[in-house]
Structures are given as structure tokens and as C-alpha cells.
Amino acid sequence: MKRAISILLFLAACTLANAAEPDVLVKFFGHAGIGDKRSVYHGEMLKHYTDKPTVGQGLPRNVQATFRKLEESQFRSVYAVLLSDGHKSQDWYAFLVKENDRWKISAVRNLALSGVFHIALQQLEQKNPRSEKEEWQYQNMLLTIKSDRELKEYLKSNLADFRNVVTLYSKGDKEQSDKMAKRLLIDFIKDINGAIEFNIGGIIDNTVGYLYVPPGSKPPTMDPSEFIYVEEIADGWYIYKTT
């Protein structure tokens, strides 16, 4: 019996260890930061950021980080990181590589929207009344800055309409598919490597939206240089962010 209990405890400990996020990630987004960055940084982080504070060191004390593993292979992993003070939140994405049996941070990203975007949003917010075009732009910009959780819920709650857009678009009815997409606050739709992109908005290459990936096609691979975030929401439907 004691041997059986010991085995169960050992297996449970192994499961927890495998499920936990790498310690370097906790420290990077924690308030204390990282001491020897050279030992746990890789790639661009090692080249450009060893003398810079970590993200966590610049956060208010009431902001906490939670982690979700998006992808893991033998030598690479990607995590979604939610920073929140209980009222406001911000989504980050961390790319790690395993070197000498140790996880190291190679890049961190978030949806980088310039000050111009936020100034335009503030101006629209303060304008009263707004024209029909301005109201659409305002609601579209509000959707652009929503959290990943809120963006997932938005697609789920409007999934039937999004599927109708796919049907119209696949039939070549661009006029009607564009109209319906606009009602869903989508800026534009287009083909992308066998999938259909529903672009919500952003600034230049820093965009957010949804992807419909039909059977036989694959979603884009997450990468610090382009698709920084890709996650399935429903069967064949994904949320994405680019940089």
C-alpha cells in the first residue's frame, strides 16, 4: 500500500511539473525580475535586452500574470500571458526555446497599437453625435482592443453569422459577404493560404482578427515575426494577431 501511494504521489508530482509554466517565464513577468538574464535569454532577447528591465519589473504591484500554454514541442513552446489588476488586462505572448535542457525566452510580443490609434479612438469617443460611419469605426476600434477572452466570446456569440459570411464568400458573392462582414465589425475579408481571414483592425502590420480554416488546410504557425498568436475557438475557427 505504501509503495502504491508513493508511486501515485510521484506521478502526481510529475504531472504538476509538466503542467507548470517554466520558471523563467514566471520571473520575467514577476515584479522581482531576472538576475542573470544571459543564462535564460535566447535570440533577440539575448542580443538586445540583457541590460533592460523585464516586463514584470515595470508593472504596478497589483498586476498579476497568469499563463496558458498555446503550443509545445521538444525544443519550442509558446505561452499566452494575461496581465491583469482585476479591472484592466493586457495580453502578451512569450516564445521560448529549449537549450541544454533549459527553457529560455527568445521573444515576447503583444498587439502593438501606436499612440495615433488611441488618440483617434479617444477623439471618436468624445464626439457626440457620431455619424454612421464614425460609429462603425468607433465600435470596430473598441473590438480591436478587446481582450483575447472577449474576442473569443464575440466570435462564439456571432458564429452563425460568421458562417453565413463564409458561405457567401465561398460562392463568390463579394458584395453580400462584405456587407455582412461589416455588420460584424470586420474591416475586410480575404483568402490567405487556403483559409479565410476576417480582419478586425489594427495599425499597419499589427492586426487582430479571425481565421476560418476549412478541412484540409492548416492555420498559420505562430512566430515572433508575423503571427504572434493563433488559437482555435471553435471547429475550424481561430483568433489571430500579427506583428
Contact criterion met (CB below 8 Å) for 217 and 194? yes
SS3 60: coil
d(CA 219, CA 237): 9
Q: Which residues pair with 1 in a beta bridge?
A: none
d(CA 66, CA 34): 18
Question: Mean of the pLDDT values across residues 83-106?
Answer: 97
Residue 102's pLDDT is: 96
Cα 45 from chain centroid? 19
- DSSP sequence for 156-174: HHTHHHHHHHHHHHHTT-H
114: phi then psi, degrees, rounded to nearest 5: -70, 170
d(CA 156, CA 125): 27
CA R_g for the chain:
21
Question: Mean of the pLDDT values across residues 231-235?
Answer: 98
Cell 455582412: give the residue.
180
Residue 21's pLDDT is: 84
Residue ranges of the chain assigned to CATH 3.10.450 = 2-109
Which tens digits make up the pLDDT trace of 172-225? 999 999 999 999 999 999 999 999 999 999 999 999 999 999 999 999 999 999
Parallel/antiparallel/unpaired status of strands 206-212 and 227-234:
unpaired
- Joined grid coordinates for residue 229: 498568436
Which tens digits make up the pLDDT trace of 6-26? 444 433 333 333 447 899 999
Contact criterion met (CB below 8 Å) for 228 and 93? yes
Which CATH architecture is the domain 2-109 placed in? Roll (3.10)
d(CA 209, CA 135): 19
* Better-predicted residue by pLDDT, 5 or 240: 240
The residues, any chain, with a CB within 8 Å of residue 120's CB and separated by 6 or more, are: 141
SS3 235: coil
Burial 43-82 (b: 16+ CB within 10 A, else e): eebbeeeeeeebbbeebeeebebebeebeeeeeebbbbbb
Residue 120 has pLDDT above 50, yes or no: yes
Question: pTM for this structure?
Answer: 0.90
d(CA 226, CA 237): 19
Which tens digits make up the pLDDT trace of 33-91? 999 999 999 999 999 999 999 999 999 999 999 999 999 999 999 999 999 999 999 99
Percentage of the chain beyond pLDDT 90 is 91
